[in-house]
Amino acid sequence: MTNITLDSILDRSLLGFNISPSEAVVLLKQTDPESVNAIQETADKLRQRQAGDTVTYVINRNINFTNICEQHCNFCAFRRDDGDTDAYWLNWGQILEKSTDAVRRGATEICMQGGLNPQAQINGSSLPYYIKLVETIKQEFPQLHLHAFSPQEVQFIARLDGISYAEVIIGLRDAGLGSMPGTAAEVLDDQVRKVLCPEKINTETWLEIVSTAHKLGVPTTSTMLSGHIETPEQQVTHLEKLRLLQETAINQGYPAKISEFILLPFVGQEAPKVLRRRVGRDQPVLADALLLTAVARIYLGNYISNHQPSWVKLGLAGATEALTWGCNDIGGTLMEEHITTMAGAIGGTCMEVETLENAISSLNRPYQQRNTLYQFIGNRE
Ligand code: SF4
């Protein structure tokens, strides 16, 4: 591939055209510093055009209500069996306590996900338990945005109760769910999923559940777990599926769509040994994550304008760097983080607002608090 071709791909993307999957693979395979630099510059220009210079953040709190899980994903250091010494399952009082603390610290969002715990039921049904999770928080704090339950959790509830995905989402939405995290996507390629998470929903089901949420007016985010066994071609397959999903939501006039894309580089330090050995390293390779960040901006930016790095996975310095590779948001304060920290991540579990603002200011870019759906809050600039 000559530089003329690389330049023509980048030029066309700057003119507003969508690049093709094979063109995206070309970008991901560039290794010489000059070419990589040109990709970064293009992504940064597109970020500026599509999302502006302001870098946003959200004050939120994670609540992972249980780590008891019936599945055994090969990258997961979080799950436990019921009865393990460090298995936990928060009670209603603990959930309320954490929400109260979050509100006291200025949170506008609770991000809630958990293991797939078959005992999490009320009167023999799963959905009422999840609805009670939503209501417990929303009745006390109606102003909090509840961003909760992955497509995998939706399928789990539907499977246990013998109901449709739509019934689950409607039940949760009507109880006060504000949006759903687009997690459990990992890489939307069934060959990769067979190795990474053989018990999880397949690509088609993930796409179906997210699209159902959009039709029912529940916005979602989108994610990608990168840097393990997947090839550049499979990374692009994933991006293409997200782009088509968002295109459908927009073209069909669904009442909701994807609000952001978050790249989640794989942290393997405490991951189950087989995958850890196969990947052969414990922490993400920053350069790979940054190149993929830039290609994701170029590939998705016409459809998904908000891109966020993960400071938990990359550390704050890595996430700050990603703001110059196509990202326009630095994520949330989280207040506590278990899933990646138990996997051996170095980024920490909590960020103060000031720390995030200082990181953004170090790039001479303005910062701005936002809510979950990217509306600005207050006037902190
Ligand atoms: S990634 Fe989620 S579904 Fe998979 S084992 Fe871990 S907690 Fe369970």
- 121 CB under 6 A from ligand 1? no
Domain residue ranges of the chain, discontinuous segments joined by +:
38-369
For residue 50, give both structure tokens: 């599509």
Give the tens place of pLDDT for each residue, 340-381: 888 888 888 899 999 999 999 999 999 999 999 999 998 544
Q: Residue holding tokens 């005992």?
A: 119
Ligand 1: centre distance to CA 76 (Å): 6
Q: Number of C-alpha atoms within 13 angstroms, CB side, residue 126?
A: 21
Residue 13: which pLDDT band, with cuts at 50, 70 and 90?
very high
Look at residue 345 in the predicted model and tell me its pLDDT: 87
pTM: 0.97
Q: Which CATH superfamily is domain 38-369 in?
A: Aldolase class I (3.20.20.70)
Give the tens place of pLDDT for each residue, 159-194: 999 999 999 999 999 999 999 999 999 999 999 999
Say yes or no to pLDDT of 2 above 70: no
Helices 3-14 + 33-51 axis angle, to 10: 10
Within a 10 A sphere around the Cβ of 316, how many other Cβ atoms?
Answer: 19
Ligand 1: centre distance to CA 241 (Å): 22
Q: Phi and psi for 331 in degrees, rounded to 5?
A: 90, -150
What whole-number distance in Å separates Cα of residue 78 and Cα of residue 69? Answer: 9
Q: How many helices (H) and strands (E) does the chain have?
A: 14, 9
Ligand 1: centre distance to CA 86 (Å): 16
Q: Number of C-alpha atoms within 13 angstroms, CB side, residue 330?
A: 37
